[in-house]
A and B are shown apart, each in its own frame.
Chain A
Amino acid sequence: MNPRLAMVLALAAAACGPKVSKEKPAAADPAYVFPHSTHVDADVDCKACHPMDKATKLEAGVRHVKVPANVTKIQPCADCHDKDFPAFKPPARHAPFRLRFDHAAHLPRVKGDCKRCHTAPPEQGDKQAKAPPMGACTACHEHQQDFAEARCVPCHVDLKGYQPETAFKHEGEWLRAHGALARPSGESCAACHDQTYCAECHSPQTAAGRPSIVFPERVERAYIHRGDYVSRHMIDAGANPASCRRCHGSAFCESCHELQGLSKLSPATGETNANLRRPRSHDQDDWATPGTPGALPRHGPAARRDIASCAGCHDQGAQATCVGCHRVGSPVAGTRSPHPKKFLSAHDRGDISKNEMCRVCHG
């Protein structure tokens, strides 16, 4: 390699090099020891201990706590306390704030009433302060449009650590519900989840493996293919054929069915059609051809009610087994159209020219 080019590339690599600090996991904050609710109930002003008038931002290392030392000598403490306590210094907070907030700007607007937002103070034993609900913000701020448009920045640093509530609460039938919410509110989902997260389940064509295999330790996650899914996949597919088809194309099914000697095109076994393993339904005498003259073979109604199941083995375009009999002019085609009424009402002969697939039989 040209030495000058190597030098320039080395400089580029150095410029790209991570001059970053690794975020250390925040140590757990110690539990609260101060009996907040006792003092709130006694109408002690929060400002007696929390001088927030000049606090313009939330900082992990700054507590904004100044407990009076001589409680027996100052009001309103002296109303209850007849004994002084040793000076109390609250321990430092480690957990970073994920929110930007200016107490100094807000206190005049609520006339110094902290309880307007802080509806529940931290109790003894709590390891985290109870953050005001977001409704406290939106009671004054018109953020509905921002919420609808998933514009959480700049108030929120990010949404890590927040648990969604009400509509977006991830519980109960969340697996069934989340798609219905993502369709109108996909950008809201994106506020917390990158597509790499969605792709863990929603990209079976490119994924390394089933999530339940890659993450067996995540027992709390709702993985639909958990355990021995091979034995029950046909039952689930029969009950809800569209569910499989949202993620899996026919060729995905065939990739396995061919290796198992189930599909007609079976390069792994090279078996003839007669030797293939088939569903039990296919072994009925009148499955492929009518049992009695004029009757319908059984495969017709079965295909009508669940064509997606057929596609798991027979979706090979012009080579599909259906074409041999159903193409126009076939000696066994008969006069009855294989198309359902709803199909015929939507398509006329003009559509044949718009879809090469039609010409396989009508060409």
Chain B
Amino acid sequence: MNSPTSSEPRTTPLSQAHRRLGAKMIDFGGWLMPVNYPSGILEEHKATRTAVGMFDVCHMGEIHFRGPRAAEAVQRLVTNQVGKLFDGRAMYTVACNPTGGIVDDLIVYRVKADHFLIVVNAANIAKDHRHFLDQVGSWCEIRNASDETGLISFQGPKAQAALAPLTRAPLASLKSFHFLTDVEVAGRPAWIARTGYTGEDGFEIFCAVADAEPLWQALLDACAGLGGKPVGLGARDTLRLEARLSLYGNDLNDQTTPLEAGLGWVVKLDAGDFVGRAALLRQHEAGLTRKLAGFVMLGRGIARHGYPIHDPASGAKVGEVTSGTVGPTVGKNIGLGYVPVALARAGSRLLIDCRGKPIEAEVVEGPFYRRS
């Protein structure tokens, strides 16, 4: 969250904490982030599925909308129905450009009727902020608080048990996609949201940048006794892909629409006149030509971002893998990619070109992993 001085990657307030833990650090979209800690990606993945994983997501962006027209401004920007939110309720949605392409995928939090928070992807903070200002800058106050806000994600079946001793906030009654403001965690002022990006139950804890490291240490101590671990970007990717959660920059970008991306459930065409609505309505009426398909590899091979996808019938290249990995919990190699709609149906076969070797894959519907 330091300002970039040159091409040096930016660091989060937890950078020193990661080094002390022995993390392997990489430059990820301009941010120096832990890719894994000494126990490795598979162990970190497993810890999150069976106990608790904690993630530094301080690099993510927080943009506040305040004023009597805040709700109207947010609705102009996003495809989901903002009017359904109430104080303390959040929702997943996307912001589109006028042609229906996705500017970013994000979570909108309604703090009060005249105060909304939008959490955006780290790599998109500047782009989103500019887009928001361009579209609705005169409607309400829009403030980018990314540099002063810390965010730690605490995910897994034991997340509530691990977090409970550190806070008096009523965690048990906090439902999914609900959040609490003005609470304390480990004696530090914080907001707690029941959200995440792993397919597990869990929390995301917002705090002041200065409190991020002490809070991280307290959470680390709290989860250690329950088998919890810090988790890097490597396992964050295997966890989110098993849960079939999209990654902006891979599965979503300015050229893909939410309808193509399988995010039709966050597009409410009657929610209001949001940016991109007309284009999405046209696409909805005309029908899709391509869709983001999830697939499991049938042969030995791991699909990776950018690998060509071929139609087994014609041999023609029909798309590219947008995300692919080992699915440690599902025990299969899995991936996502845009393919023609006829090939996007469950049961369709695809050939993934794994560095010259065609490996068969089968299209499946829904998440690869669902928590029990």
State whether these chains interact: no
Q: State the B residues within 8 Å of A (CB).
A: none
Q: State the A residues within 8 Å of B (CB).
A: none
